[in-house]
Amino acid sequence: PHRTRRPAPPGAASAMNCRAEVLEVSVEGRQVEEAILAVLHTVLLHRSTGKFHYKKEGTYSIGTVGTQDVDCDFIDFAYVRVSSEELDRALRKAVGEFKDALRNSGSDGMGQISLEFYQKKKSRWPFSDECIPWELWTIKVNVVNLANEQERQICREKVGEKLCEKIINIVEVMNRHEYLPKMPTQSEVDNVFDTSLKDVQPYLYKISYQITDSLGTSVTTTMRRLIKDTLAL
Amino acid sequence: AMDSDLSSQDRKDLDKFIKFFALKTVQVIVQARLGEKICTRSSSSPTGSDWFNLAIKDIPEVTHEAKKALAGQLPAVGHSMCVEISLKTSEGDSMELEIWCLEMNEKCDKEIKVSYTVYNRLSLLLKSLLAITRVTPAYRLSRKQGHEYVILYRIYFGEVQLSGLGEGFQTVRVGTVGTPVGTITLSCAYRINLAFMSTRQFERTPPILGIIIDHFVDRPYPSSSPMHPCNYRAGEDNGAVYPSVEDSQEACTTSFSTSPPSQCVFTVTKAHFQTPSPVVTDTLKVPVMGLAFSHQLSSSRLSCQPATLAVGSADMGYPVLFAGGLNAAHPHQLMGPGKDGGVPPMTSQPAHGTQADQERMCTPLDGVHYSAATPSSSEDTETISNSSEGKCGSPHDFLEAIFIRKVGAFVNKPINQVTMANLDIPFAMFAPKNVELEDPNPMVNPPDSPETESPLQGSLHSECSSDSSAGNTHDDFVMIDFKPAFSKDDILPMDLGTFYREFQNPPQLSSLSIDIGAQSMAEDLDSLPEKLAVHEKNVREFDAFVETLQ
């Protein structure tokens, strides 16, 4: 039977009802972006709907989500993403920042990037709105350096195979049909979905990342909001 | 007793969802094995005909095959719908690669809301299918098809048969959706024992027969494997192929309600399709879009018929070809309003038109001229040119004409049974010479191209067919169309596609013929010792060069 989990009441540990998945990839420097984008796009494919159009009597209709194939240049791999240039740009921006941070940190090339889906819970003044995560995807990235062309060729194939496994894992999680936010009324839709895009409507999400230094401790935590921010007050 | 809890409306809705889910599943799988990248547009306005809120094109032949296999039934316990993907080499060897199974088991979920939760989960499952179809080994094989092998599909309904996959095949589960009448499961069993053919082997081999395959896309068609019953019967095609266009385009206007959870308003409206004209014009776009990439070109080789090729909007990302060459007025009907200089690209519309699109489609374009706008002499063209000038005319005729054209591409009939005088098929050498096949399963064997079209044509064909060993074994697949990417139809009547087809089979170079070849070989052998001596002298330079490469 379909189980509905309510979001945690304010004050409770927000991680309580948040589903968390971790994926690890070992890639060469130039494969970092493509590998992460493949994972993020696959998750967002499953976590985006068409635009909602509310009509009278509380009914709504849903727009159409298009999809397209993406071929990777540095990995023997292809994936499907939602046809939305805005969404693609937003993800590329975040991944680009992560990649730069990895490169500039002087670390061993280890870090992680997270995609978090959350719901907003409006609070009364003077409290600011809460963001309650309900699903968290973390991709742990380990950058390797390769010595010669032959190793690179093998890496292309191996990483491609690994990504196939990741896609299967992601789909498995999606298929569990676990908690999803209730479909919102018109007044609530911005608390559940990102309605800023013109062609698709992903659940509210944010992307953040951390770079790990060689001691294994987290050196930088950067939070980036890629959607319209919640009001501060 | 099991169904007593389900209202009859819910039951009807559920059956409809399952039926269209099955059809969309087949589309996704087959399209993922065509060997090309798929791209569809998102649309913020619901168009009412995108099932499961996903833009998945419907290739009419595929829908037709799926419906035939299902024969009005739905997946049920013990009756699964299977899509078998196999590979066939140019030598005629074939091998099953994958079996995709849509099954139903007995585990029911009575509590679940049909028109809301089930529908959304089916949508999610289709997305998972899109993702998973790219990660099995057959995907990469299918992207490289065309040179030495092609990928075929076959749909059957009944018991799943996995024995053709070899030992140690693996299974991946795409997902499940519980419903009040059972749980739908979608999975793929795929061969891993590809010992005698690796993708790398095909990568290194140059194309056979010297045909440029850059944009060649093979249309997979059902194989006639004798091991598996396939209930396709030859000779059933008629002029009105795929008559159930309306059926396949049933609107699925879904409305969801957020007020009291028990109230789920779900309407499946056929309002668009109640009158004949709107039906036709509304759906006109879709079948054309769906079939456009496999559309036959109507031009004859020498007379350079106009407007034979138009490439769909780059926005679509999907190389789509419209054969609008029936009459100067009519290509316009297939395309959106254009700009100067050539065939306007398709406007960025989703595959399923809205009311506004209908109107736009019916208005001939201004300012776009085609020279040599002589209609071809086929009967159907006459019909069209008579039926309208400057307006839609009889959309029904037009649609019929389109379908008749389409029949030519896929029907297993000799050309004289189809009212297309100027059928012109690229790669016709690979089509079986005798159109009546023994196999009852020739979905896509076009008639031979008319060899009397031009003397050049005739001689080229005979030369090539004698040289090609592979040509005659391609009984089960057909190279349907040649779509040169970025080939715009300019003011010139001859476009890239036509040009290419004209000159695709040049006569053999004399230097490649045996006698001369043997002579030069002898000369080469004689000169070898000299050449070796020269290279020996320069060995240090060569070594230095090699060093720089490492």
Which range among B61-70, B262-271, B416-425 has the greatest average pLDDT?
Answer: B61-70
DSSP state of B85: E
Which is higher by pLDDT, B57 or B147? B57
Out of A172-176, B151-155, B350-354, B430-434, which region has the weakest mean confidence (pLDDT)? B350-354
Over the range B333-347, which residues count as b (16 or more CB within 10 Å of their CB) and which as e?
Answer: bbbbebeeebbbbbe
- Min Cα distance A136 → chain B (Å) is 18
Q: What is the pLDDT of residue A16?
A: 55
Q: What is d(CA A65, CA B41) in angstroms, rounded to the nearest whole number?
A: 7
Cα dist from A38 to A95, A163, A167, B316, B461, whole Å: 11, 8, 8, 21, 46
Residue B354, pLDDT above cutoff 50: no
Out of B172-176, B198-202, B227-231, which region has the weakest mean confidence (pLDDT)? B227-231
Query: Is B194 in the A-facing interface, judged by CB distances under 8 Å?
Result: no
- Min Cα distance A24 → chain B (Å) is 18
Query: Is B548 in the A-facing interface, judged by CB distances under 8 Å?
Result: no
**Paired tokens of B340:** 């100067």
pLDDT in tens, B106-130: 999 888 888 889 999 999 999 999 9
* Confidence class for position B27, pLDDT limits 50, 70, 90: very high
Q: Measured in Å, how far apart are chain B's first and last C-alpha atoms?
A: 75
Residue from A45, A80, A151, A190 whose CB has the most chain B CBs within 10 Å, to mutate: A80
Which range among B68-72, B241-245, B413-417 has the greatest average pLDDT?
Answer: B68-72
Q: Which residue positions in chain A have pLDDT lower than 50? A: 1-15, 220-233
Say if A191 falls within a structural domain: yes
R_g over Cα of chain A: 19
Among candidate residues B114, B223, B229, B94, the one with its CA nearest the CA of residue B161: B229
Question: Which element (helix H / strand E) includes A223?
Answer: strand A218-224
Interface contact flag, B53 A168, Cβ < 8 Å? no
* Confidence class for position B238, pLDDT limits 50, 70, 90: very low
pLDDT in tens, B276-317: 333 333 333 333 333 333 332 333 333 333 333 333 333 333
Residue range B354-371: mean pLDDT, rounded: 35
Which range among A21-35, B282-296, B324-338, B374-388 has the greatest average pLDDT?
Answer: A21-35
Q: Which residue of B has its CA nearest to A77?
A: B135
**Paired tokens of B233:** 């019967």
The minimal CB distance from B135 to the residues A45, A69, A164 is found for: A164
- Min Cα distance B253 → chain A (Å) is 8
Peptide bond preceding B46 in cis form (omega within 30 of 0)? no
Domains located in chain B, CATH noted: 8-197 (3.30.900.10)
Beta carbons of B139 and B133 less than 8 angstroms apart: yes
What does chain A come to in residues? 233
Distance of CA B182 to the CA centre of its chain: 33
Say if A158 falls within a structural domain: yes
Q: What is d(CA A48, CA A134) in angstroms, rounded to the nearest whole number?
A: 15
Q: What is d(CA A113, CA A159) in angstroms, rounded to the nearest whole number?
A: 18
Among candidate residues B300, B372, B312, B299, the one with its CA nearest the CA of residue B338: B312
Say if A109 falls within a structural domain: yes
Q: What is d(CA A184, CA A196) in angstroms, rounded to the nearest whole number?
A: 16
The minimal CB distance from A64 to the residues B43, B174, B258 is found for: B43
Say if A144 falls within a structural domain: yes
Say if A228 falls within a structural domain: no
Q: What is the pLDDT of residue B487?
A: 59
Residues 6+ apart with CB under 8 A from B258: A58, A59, A60, A183, A184, A185, A186
Q: What is the pLDDT of residue B456?
A: 40
Q: What is the pLDDT of residue B548?
A: 86
Sheet holding B182-190, edge to edge: B149-158, B80-89, B94-105, B182-190, B170-179
Q: What is the pLDDT of residue B252?
A: 56
Which is higher by pLDDT, B192 or B154? B154
Beta carbons of B409 and B444 less than 8 angstroms apart: yes
* Confidence class for position B249, pLDDT limits 50, 70, 90: very low
The minimal CB distance from B124 to the residues A57, A67, A174 is found for: A174
Q: B residues 436-495 near A, CB within 8 Å?
A: none
Query: Is B2 in the A-facing interface, judged by CB distances under 8 Å?
Result: no
Query: Is B192 in the A-facing interface, judged by CB distances under 8 Å?
Result: no
**Paired tokens of B105:** 């088991």
Residue range B41-46: mean pLDDT, rounded: 87
ipTM given for this complex: 0.88
Token pair 């696959």 in the structure block, residue: A42
Q: What is the pLDDT of residue B256?
A: 59
pLDDT in tens, B461-496: 333 333 434 334 444 555 556 566 665 555 555 567
Q: What is the pLDDT of residue B46?
A: 74
Out of A62-71, A142-151, B14-23, B359-368, which region has the weakest mean confidence (pLDDT)? B359-368
Count the neighbouring beta carbons within 10 Å of the beta carbon of residue B3: 13
Interface contact flag, A53 B176, Cβ < 8 Å? no
| Phi, then psi, of B311 in degrees rounded to 5 | -100, 135
**Paired tokens of B503:** 């000159």
Q: B residues 344-373 near A, CB within 8 Å?
A: 350
Say if A13 falls within a structural domain: no
pLDDT in tens, A63-85: 999 999 999 999 999 999 999 99
Q: What is d(CA B194, CA B204) in angstroms, rounded to the nearest whole number?
A: 17
Give the percent of chain B with pLDDT over 70.
41
Interface contact flag, A76 B140, Cβ < 8 Å? yes
Q: What is the pLDDT of residue B530?
A: 87
Question: Average pLDDT, whole number, for chain B?
Answer: 61
- Min Cα distance A132 → chain B (Å) is 21
Say if A74 falls within a structural domain: yes
What is the residue range of A26's domain? 19-215
Which range among A38-42, B295-299, B345-349, B428-432 has the greatest average pLDDT?
Answer: A38-42
Q: What is d(CA A193, CA A48) in angstroms, rounded to the nearest whole number?
A: 9
pLDDT in tens, B282-291: 333 333 333 3
Number of compact structural domains in chain A: 1
For residue B41, the chain A residues in CB contact (below 8 A) are 66, 83, 199
For residue A53, the chain B residues in CB contact (below 8 A) are 45-46
Query: Is B317 in the A-facing interface, judged by CB distances under 8 Å?
Result: yes
Residue B54, pLDDT above cutoff 70: yes
Q: What is the 3-state secondary structure (H, E, C) of A41-97?
A: HHHHHHCEECCEEECHHHEEEECEECEEEEECCCCCCEEEEECCHHHHHHHHHHHHH
Say if A4 falls within a structural domain: no
Residue range B399-406: mean pLDDT, rounded: 33
Token pair 């819910």 in the structure block, residue: B10
pLDDT in tens, B449-468: 443 434 443 333 333 333 43
SS3 assignment, position B62: helix
Interface contact flag, B39 A83, Cβ < 8 Å? yes
Q: Count of alpha carbons within 13 Å of B52, Cβ hemisphere only?
A: 30
For residue B49, the chain A residues in CB contact (below 8 A) are none
Tell whether pTM > 0.80.
no
